[in-house]
Structure 1
């Protein structure tokens, strides 16, 4: 009888761990690709979706550049090369190791208002 209890308990632990991992993966899969790339490249250390941190919120950036056809190119260059002066005295560091495709995905997500889905 002890052996049966051990097997049932072990199965419950394994299933619980699997369910937990599956839930985490499902959550990550629900996040927009731009947000996932921003998280992976430390963008969220200075920016938040809906409030100013060190830099402006992604929603503030979207509002500022709304209707600007040159915004994708401007912001792509800003992310790659860094810059200062647009939002205050604190400079934005360059991100030379980010691929152009990843930068464009993040920029497109930000310009869309940084939607949750």
Structure 2
């Protein structure tokens, strides 16, 4: 009984963290151009996660793209710099995005 309660608690915390990061993505306007499963203006987060999966420097590279913007990787529409996102928030968002595969 205690073990199943512990498993439930861990699962609830993990899903709460995932939901919190989705809320952060909404709060920082990421969802204006992106969605988890389908392309909007920018690529789907699951596509980003697949493209960068297994790359050792992916988290650092994507954090910089969130902060400074990017162009040419996913087509002609550039991603602008995100001045409303600090580095810690960008890392949190990138970790969440990378878990969307």
Q: Same fold (TM over 0.5)?
A: yes
TM-superposed deviation, 1:97: 2.6
Select which of 8, 22, 27 maps to 1:40. 27
Q: Given the two structures, how large is their TM-score scaled by the length of structure 1?
A: 0.69
Measured against aligned partners, the alpha-carbon deviations of 1:43-81 in whole angstroms (never above 9, x if no partner) come to 001000000000000000000001001000010000000
8 Å Cα contact 1:82/1:95 also seen in 2 = yes
Equivalence map 1:74-85=2 (5 Å): 74-85=61-72
Q: Which runs of 5+ in 2 are unaligned?
A: 1-14
Provide the alpha-carbon RMSD of the alignment. Answer: 1.5
Unaligned runs of at least 5 residues, structure 1: 1-28
1:112 corresponds in structure 2 to 99
**Aligned length in residues:** 86
Pairing 1:98–2:82 present = no
Return the TM-score normalized by structure 2: 0.79
Larger radius of gyration: 1
User: Equivalents in 1 of 2:36, 2:58: separation in Å?
Assistant: 18
Q: Is the 8 A contact 2:68 2:81 kept in 1?
A: yes
